[in-house]
Structure 1
Amino acid sequence: MDSLYLYKPSHVLPAVFAVLVGVSLMLHIYQNFRYRFWRVNFWMFWGGTIFTTGWILRCVSSSYPSNLNIYIAQTVFIYAGPPIFSAAEYNQLGRLMYYLPMHAPFNPGRTVTFFIHLGATVEGLTAAGASLFATAHGANDMQQHVTGDRLISVALALQAAIECIFIAMVGLMHYRCARAGTLPRNVRQLCIMLYGTSTFVLIRCIARAIESFETETTTTCNSICRAVLFHEWFLYVFEAAPMVFYTYWINIVHPGRLLPSDKRRYLDPDGVTERMGPMWADTRSLWMKIADPLDIGGAITGNSNSEAFWMRPSDWEVAPGGSFSEGTATNVRSKSASGTATPEELLSGSRSGAMEVQLSA
């Protein structure tokens, strides 16, 4: 039977990237246990699992290039990984907002929920479009091919827009900290990491959008179309490589080293002391919360309806174990007289974190 690829697929490169993403996945699992950061970084585990599976299937597909089922599966899994990775960023931004409530423009919990729901929409469109695209490629169904391409294009445009909004919110937090004269090293490192990883996602979105646009609208295949359709390097340079850099960057600058795992812990306006506060409290009526869940009206007018609990530092106890802003605190469970935490305690923490991941960052 004829190959479903328009080129001879490499057997080696999918295996190389499967190993690279798989190693990063193992590191994320280790660090999430070490720093007890599953509630925030669960999506790095899930996205890594999906993305690694995609490259393993790609490796198998390269040996059976005429097998439609394997071809469809590898296409869907490779497309589905990056939007899931982005969800980890949203949780990290939410945890940063809990850590710096005085600089957060919106309710941290609802902000994360907003981004997660948009991300789920991107994921659904991506999976549906990739499935239709891959199936049409094998069945030579032109209409189905166009429909799949359009769904992917919409998903890519939406994800790019979300990333731009995300970068703007990180930039706003960064700016407010700098303006207040309280930009500790841990916050600066996290912001730089989020700028960088979001840039990799945008590079991937732009490249995939070019691919989708060229394959959908070009009647005679030009040089860009040929580079996309007839050369495998485009996939590895603009899809695989940016996402590998993305996952390793978050491993190197792991947010579990920079932010507390307990979202009640916040940084005092003095930029040094950390306290255990009541978290975000929305003082508006129920119908106002429903009508404007993010309190956008308050953000526009500058009259936030959240309780400014950080203005009453004497009401809240100082957090134990030093300060993340000074690099003297850690999420690693401290040793006691009986030794370190048991594996059962760590596993229990990861299970509860996975259940609460969407709303807790």
Structure 2
Amino acid sequence: MDSTWITYGPDENCTLALCPASISLYEYRPSLAANTIFIVLFGVALCLHLFQGIKWRSWAFLFAMFWGCVAEMIGYGGRILMWQNPFSFPGFLTQIICITIGPAFFSAAIYLTLSRVVIYLGVEHSRFSPKLYYWLFIPCDVVSLTLQAAGGASSSTSSGNSKAGVDIAIAGLSFQVFTLTVFIGLAVDYAICYARGQHTRPSVAKLPTSFKVFTGFLSLAIILILIRCCYRIDELSNGYSGPLIHDQGLFIGLEGVMIILAAFALNVAHPGPIFGRSRATDLEESKEGMVEIVASLRTRVPQLLRLGTPEAPRAIVIVTAHWSEGNPTISNGKKHNLLYDYYGFPPESYKLKYDAPGSPEVAEEVAQAMKDEGLQPEMDAERGWDHGVFVPMLLIHPAADIPIVQVSVLSSELPSAHFAMGRALSRLRDSNVAIVGSGFASFHNLRIMFSRVAGEPAFRKRNEEWSHAVSRAVKEKDISAREEALSKWREWPGAYEMHPRGGAEHFLPLVVCAGAGGEGQAKSYTDSFMGLDMYSYYWD
């Protein structure tokens, strides 16, 4: 061959008419059929993801899948340019960058999904907050993507002879493998913790088959991407002169097939059908579904507390579902900041203010009453008021001029201990201190709440039966009979479906209030939420 022919680089001038494909960088002519099929298949996967993403409004998942599929289609388009001319530098550069980074977008979609799995099955089984899965792994994915793109671009300008460029690409792929491995480890750890929790639970609703199929295909996608990454690391380990990079069959099987299968697996493992619409949509629909609850907090509860009258309470003690401690713990600061103990909400929800004062004096009264009841209360002047306090109080009493004392529930979840807390707090009622329980006693199971199960007639019937059981116990006139009934609440049908194991915190404030209610029958009212009746109980 004439030495004036350049086979690689921006100045390449070889064509098939002048040079054999065997002297090109890959030493073969990319398959037109295989690359066309991959473009078509990724196009089909993209259309399916667009349909699913728009239907379920899963925008973050759709964003990741969209750009992953687009990158793959562009990359295989570059390989078709190389079929036309195996020496095409624009074709090579396009495919090496786009096909390399495409799977990183699919990994990002997977990382986003696991946080929703944790919420669905129960945060109580996780060692970490669900938001860790995307706050940790998404940045890692960005680093991996950046390294792979930079390494591919750098090494491609030197026919792979730039060791630094190849090393950067390998570093990006290796980091992706490491990230995926850590992710798999955390996912397996969560699955083990969840399985142990299920084993010790006497009664629990079975996971739907659709969820099992979802997790199976999600796991398959992870494995396929991991196999592909390991192959690419080995392929690039010797730069562009190693044997693997010249084997088109291996590339088609371990790159193309693995990733297109992963893309379709993520169609089956789309979060929408399992978890419903996106968090933002859930919030909008929750706003609509909570109209009655909001109305009651704004009108009914202020009347029950006699706010705006001479009989208004001198302080309000709030037992919150969002604070669990070993011993009853009492906020005793003169002023408490707010604890925004939620995530994924609109920015304005993190700017809410509730400037009511605390009351060290009332906190001391609470502590003394609990000591007299045989409890071992602790004080906490630092912890902020969580959303179980400031969100309802913003609606109940926006004037924020009545002192607030926040009280935790117990991590032991023992009904007897919580009823004893209530007996202690009942003494403060005699000195015009209001006792408020902040929770969701009728139903608090996020896995069901954000799935289609909550709308099924069979579940609504079970929830109605559960609420009737709660009402029978709470409305016992005799306080001893009330305590006895509530001590066995975990034995009631549906108890673990309405409040998962380790997730009783939203029921426990009601037990405290039942102890504080004293003799006499409780009254109740209901508000509709997601088509279910949410019961609130009170004692005059």
Quote the residue 2:49 is aligned against.
Answer: 28
Distance of 1:259 and 1:24 partners within structure 2: 21
Asked if residue 115 in structure 1 is aligned to residue 132 in structure 2, the reply is no
**Which residue, 164, 176, 184 being the options, matches 2:193?**
176
**Corresponding residue number in structure 2 for 1:252:** 268
Q: Which has the higher strand share?
A: 2
Q: Provide, for residues 271-326 of structure 1, a one-character-per-residue CA deviation record: whole Å limited to 9, x for no partner.
A: xxxxx9x9x9999x99xx9xxxxxxxxxxxxxxx9x8989854187788x987374
Q: CA deviation at 1:85?
A: 0.9
Q: Quick one: distance in 1 between partners of 2:224 and 2:192?
A: 22
Check the 8 A contact 1:187/1:325 in 2, yes or no.
no
Q: Tell me, what secondary structure is at the counterpart of 2:28?
A: coil
Equivalent position of 1:324 in the other structure? 451
Show the 5 A alignment for 1:158-307: 158-181=175-198, 184-185=207-208, 186-215=210-239, 225-226=242-243, 228-263=244-279
Alignment check: 8 A CA contact 1:35 1:257 kept: yes
| AA at the equivalent of 2:190 | M
Q: Distance between the aligned counterparts of 1:115 and 1:313, measured in 2? A: 32
Q: 1:135 aligns with which of 122, 139, 157?
A: 157
Match of 2:127? 105
Aligned counterpart for 1:47 among listed residues 50, 65, 68? 68
CA deviation vs aligned residue, 1:315-341 (integer Å, no higher than 9, x gap): 87788x987374967xxxxxxxxxxxx
Runs (4 or more) in structure 1 with deviation over 4 Å come to 280-283, 307-312, 315-319, 325-329
Name which structure has the greater RCO, CA cutoff 8 Å, separation 6+: 1
Unaligned stretches of 5+ residues in structure 2: 1-13, 199-203, 284-292, 294-319, 326-335, 341-383, 389-408, 414-438, 457-540
For residues 317 and 156 of structure 1, the distance between their equivalents in structure 2, rounded to whole angstroms, comes to 42
Query: Equivalent of 1:73, from 87, 94, 103?
Result: 94
- TM-score, normalised by the number of residues in structure 2: 0.47
Distance 1:248 1:152 in 2: 26
Paired with 1:133 and 1:282, the residues of 2 have a C-alpha distance of 55
Equivalent residue number for residue 37 of structure 1: 58
Q: Any idea what SS the aligned residue of 1:211 has?
A: helix
Which amino acid is the alignment partner of residue 250 of structure 1? L
Q: Which amino acid aligns with 1:75?
A: I
CA gap of 1:282–1:22, structure 2 versus 1, over 3 A, is farther
Contact 1:14/1:59 (8 A) holds in 2: yes
Deviation at 1:214, TM superposition (A): 3.6
SS at match of 1:206: helix
Instruction: Give the whole-Å Cα distance in 1 for the aligned partners of 2:91 and 2:156.
Output: 10
Conserved 8 A contact 2:97-2:153:
yes
- The answer on 1:13 being equivalent to 2:34 is yes
Identify the range of structure 1 (231-240 vs 179-188) with the bigger mean alpha-carbon deviation: 179-188
The 3 A distance-change label for structure 1 pair 213 and 48 is same
1:200–1:243: 8 Å Cα contact kept in structure 2? yes
Quick one: which amino acid aligns to residue 451 of structure 2?
F
1:174·1:188 contact (CA, 8 Å) conserved in 2? Answer: no
State the 1:65 CA deviation. 2.1
Task: Tell me if 1:84 matches 2:105.
Answer: yes
Q: How many residues align?
A: 285
Q: Which residue of 2 aligns with 1:358?
A: none
User: What is the deviation of 1:97?
Assistant: 2.5
Aligned to 1:346: none
Kindly state the Cα deviation for residue 195 of structure 1 after the two structures are TM-superposed: 1.9
Are residue 150 (structure 1) and residue 277 (structure 2) matched?
A: no
Tell me the distance in 2 between the aligned counterparts of 1:257 and 1:82. 23
CA distance in 1, matches of 2:454, 2:149: 41
Paired with 1:35 and 1:92, the residues of 2 have a C-alpha distance of: 14
> For residue 324 of structure 1, what is the amino acid of its counterpart?
S
| Preserved contact between residue 50 and residue 62 of structure 2 (Cα < 8 Å) | no
Task: Sort the Cα spacing of 1:40 and 1:314 in 2 relative to 1 into closer, same or farther, 3 A.
Answer: farther
Residue 35 of structure 1: how far off its partner (Å): 1.7
Cα distance in 2 for partners of 1:47, 1:213 equals 24
- Cα deviation, residue 163, structure 1: 0.8
- Which is worse superposed, 116-125 or 206-215? 206-215
Q: 3-state SS of the aligned residue for 1:106?
A: coil
Check conservation: 1:90, 1:112, Cα contact below 8 A.
Answer: yes
Deviation at 1:126, TM superposition (A): 0.2
In structure 1, the gaps of 5 or more residues are: 267-275, 290-304, 330-361
CA–CA distance in structure 2, aligned partners of residues 281 and 97 of structure 1: 20
Which residue identity is paired with 1:42?
Answer: F
- What's the secondary structure of 1:314's corresponding residue? coil
- Give the secondary structure class of the aligned counterpart of 1:45: helix
Structure exhibiting the larger radius of gyration computed from Cα positions: 2
| Aligned counterparts of 1:79 and 1:204: Cα–Cα separation in 2 | 10
* RMSD of aligned residue pairs (Cα, Å): 3.6
Partner of 1:337: none
CA shift digits 1:205-260 (9 cap, x unpaired): 111111122447xxxx7xxx43x132211211111111111011111232211113
The separation in 1 between residues aligned to 2:72 and 2:261, in whole angstroms, is 13
Maintained 8 Å contact 2:217/2:268: no
Paired with 2:74 and 2:215, the residues of 1 have a C-alpha distance of 30
Q: Which amino acid aligns with 1:29?
A: L
Report whether the alignment pairs 1:314 with 2:441.
yes
Separation in structure 2 between the aligned mates of residue 318 and residue 327 of structure 1, nearest angstrom: 10
Superimposed CA distance per residue, residues 187-219 of structure 1 (whole angstroms, 9 cap, x where no aligned partner): 433332232111111101111111122447xxx
Q: Which amino acid aligns with 1:18?
A: I
Show CA shifts across 1:127-178 (max 9, x none): 01111222211xxx72x2x112111111111111111111122222222222
Moved more, 243-252 or 60-69: 60-69
Q: Distance in 2 between matches of 1:176 and 1:51?
A: 37
Instruction: Give 3-state SS (helix, strand or coil) of 1:40's partner.
Output: helix
Is residue 57–residue 73 contact of structure 1 (8 Å, CA) maintained in 2? yes
Name the CA distance, whole Å, in 2 between partners of 1:193 and 1:327.
Answer: 24
TM superposition score normalised by structure 1? 0.69
Contact 1:133 1:148 survives alignment (8 Å): yes
